[in-house]
Amino acid sequence: MYDSKQITQLRKSGRLKEAFDLAKRLLNDNPNDEYILNAYAWVLCSIVKLESTRNLSLANIFFSELCALEAKLKNDMLTENVNKLRPKLNPIYSNINQANELSKNGKIKEAINIF
């Protein structure tokens, strides 16, 4: 019998595709199972983190689904992670980070030039 613990184990071992596929399969049979929904949300969170550095378009697709789940689940820890991911999905995030670092190091003109 598959359950949310198996989804979590797959995710934590870095087997995101398997975790994603299992979660989707389980949700087809149990669409309102809160444990499976939470496990699936954490898989989506991991995928978004990974794809935000590789494929921003794909990351945003998964992020949309994650946001819909997050609103449904009302999980504070998940909400916190969603809020941390949100800026990383902005195409100018790296520029903003660079400008912030320059500003922190007293290089105000260089930071302003980036903005």
Distance CA 93, CA 27 (A): 33
Distance CA 3, CA 41 (A): 14
Q: What amino acid occupies position 23? A: A
pLDDT digit string (tens) for 73-95? Answer: 988 999 999 999 988 888 777 77
Report pTM: 0.80
pLDDT digit string (tens) for 17-50? Answer: 999 999 999 999 999 999 999 999 999 999 999 9
82 Cβ contact list (under 8 Å, min separation 6): 45, 66, 67, 70
